[in-house]
């Protein structure tokens, strides 16, 4: 008997026993829905981790020191690193407000932070739309009074940004203050003069932050406040009294993971040579963090995957019971077919095809349910993608489960003696 004929016969048998077939079909569908959802979310997490890794930069290492780092030290360290490496010093942040006022046209602005950065800062996690220009090395060398300000998009859900830790005591003064985030949403500051810490700065650029739905950076590397960025050397001059209070961050991107270890040894020895043997920098390898994130992603989905396996086993047992019931009710038919020349292989294939048809229908229904679950439960639906291998895997799992659990009863049917089968009532 040809495969198309077996499929037609199997489909007719499924239609003839709708309720019995539905129960097995439903169990398979629930299992596949769980698998589809789990594999889709896991695939998306891996994809997001890979994108975050690419944004952060290959071979990235980070550390910090409580000492002030100069431009001369920057050039010295850069010369020791592997060729092609990107090096960036990032200052501590200073809150706007109180002793560190920001003013524009007589308006006091608060709830923001000032950070000193270098042109190489944009080599890692630069997801912004830049309006204007970014810092160049002339800004660093000449300590230009230039500023770049972050601008947040309009979103339905308000961002939970950090607030200034110090406010002037006078209530009348507080009424005149406005938050930096709200102020930049209503005012276009590119090319404008702002007063910061008693000095005039020109806003040379605006960094438009992506929406949370479009931001692939790791959560702790996304903006937790509104920022005003200054050239690193300018920040050091302006906030010299704060230097050494909090860490200066050092970020190195070697471009290759294989170079990260040698770069970390160079960085460690450099800091100790500059600040003595008491300096014990803690160097963090970014690829270790990626491995931890992947491990956490797998662990968080293991329980759901286990439930999917249980559901598939239940569906498989259902198919086995249905197949055994079908064989019992069609024993005489098996005897007639054997008497007319059907081989054991034909009988075996007939029942296997029927079971796998149930599994195939269950896989399509399960994928529909799984897709609906993703739309309803995914944290960020706009970042979700549905890989072809998830669809193929779901179908293969359903067919394999149906085949395995129907194999024993189908084999028992194929072994029936034709004479005994014909006598069955």
Q: Where are the alpha helices (DSSP H) in 57-125?
A: 71-80
List the chain domain ranges: 3-51+299-423, 56-290
Per-residue confidence (pLDDT) for residue 149, from 0 to 100: 95
Q: Which residues contact 391 (CB under 8 A, 6 or more apart)?
A: 367
Backbone angles phi, psi at 150, to 5 degrees: -80, 145
Task: Read off the tokens for 103.
Answer: 């003013």
pTM for this entry? 0.73
In this prediction, residue 99 has a pLDDT band, given cuts at 50, 70 and 90, of low
pLDDT confidence tier of residue 17, bands split at 50, 70 and 90: low
Q: CA torsion, points 12, 17, 19, 21, in degrees to nearest 10? A: -60
Per-residue CA distances from 398 to 25, 40, 193 (Å): 10, 16, 66
Percent of the chain with pLDDT over 90: 29
Question: At CB < 8 A and 24+ separation, what contacts does 142-146 make?
Answer: 143/231, 143/233, 143/234, 143/237, 144/231, 144/234, 145/199, 145/200, 145/201, 145/202, 145/234, 146/201, 146/202, 146/203, 146/204, 146/230, 146/231, 146/234
Report the alpha-carbon distance of residue 294 to residue 310 in Å, rounded.
24
pLDDT in tens, 25-50: 777 888 888 878 877 777 777 788 88
Residue pLDDT, tens place only, 374-394? 777 666 555 566 677 778 888
């Amino acid at each position: 008997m040809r495969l198309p004929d077996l499929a037609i016969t199997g489909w007719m048998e499924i239609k003839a026993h709708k309720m019995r077939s539905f129960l097995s079909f439903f169990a398979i569908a629930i299992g596949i829905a769980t698998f589809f959802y789990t594999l889709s979310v896991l695939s998306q997490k891996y994809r997001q981790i890979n994108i975050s890794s690419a944004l952060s930069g290959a071979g990235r290492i980070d550390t910090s020191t409580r000492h002030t780092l100069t431009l001369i030290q920057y050039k010295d360290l850069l010369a020791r690193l592997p060729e092609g490496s990107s090096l960036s010093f990032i200052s501590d942040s200073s809150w706007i407000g109180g002793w560190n006022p920001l003013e524009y046209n007589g308006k006091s602005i608060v709830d923001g932070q000032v950070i000193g950065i270098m042109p190489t800062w944009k080599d890692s996690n630069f997801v912004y739309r830049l309006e204007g220009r970014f810092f160049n090395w002339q800004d660093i060398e000449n300590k230009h009074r230039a500023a770049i300000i972050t601008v947040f998009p309009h979103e339905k859900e308000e961002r939970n940004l950090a607030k200034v830790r110090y406010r002037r005591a006078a209530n009348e003064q507080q009424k005149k203050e406005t938050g930096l985030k709200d102020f930049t949403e209503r005012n276009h500051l590119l090319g404008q003069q702002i007063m910061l810490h008693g000095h005039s700065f020109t806003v040379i650029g605006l960094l438009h932050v992506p929406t949370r739905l479009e931001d692939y950076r790791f959560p702790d590397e996304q903006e937790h406040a509104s920022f005003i960025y200054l050239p690193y050397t300018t920040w050091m001059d302006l906030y010299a009294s704060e230097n050494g209070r909090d860490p200066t961050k050092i970020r190195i991107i070697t471009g290759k993971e294989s170079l990260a270890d040698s770069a970390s040894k160079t960085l460690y020895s450099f800091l100790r040579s500059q600040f003595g043997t008491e300096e014990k920098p803690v160097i963090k390898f970014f690829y270790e963090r990626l491995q931890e994130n992947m491990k956490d992603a797998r662990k968080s989905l293991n329980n759901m995957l286990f439930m999917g396996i249980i559901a598939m086993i239940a569906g498989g047992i259902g198919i086995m019971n249905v197949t055994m019931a079908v064989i019992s009710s069609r024993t005489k038919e098996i005897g007639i077919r054997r008497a007319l020349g059907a081989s054991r292989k034909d009988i075996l294939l007939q029942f296997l095809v029927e079971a796998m048809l149930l599994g195939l229908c269950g896989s399509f229904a399960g994928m529909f349910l799984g897709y609906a679950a993703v739309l309803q439960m995914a944290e960020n639906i706009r970042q979700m993608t549905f890989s072809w291998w998830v669809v193929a895997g779901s179908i293969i799992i359903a067919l394999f489960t149906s085949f395995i659990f129907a194999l024993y009863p189908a084999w028992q049917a194929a072994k029936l003696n034709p004479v005994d089968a014909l006598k069955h009532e």
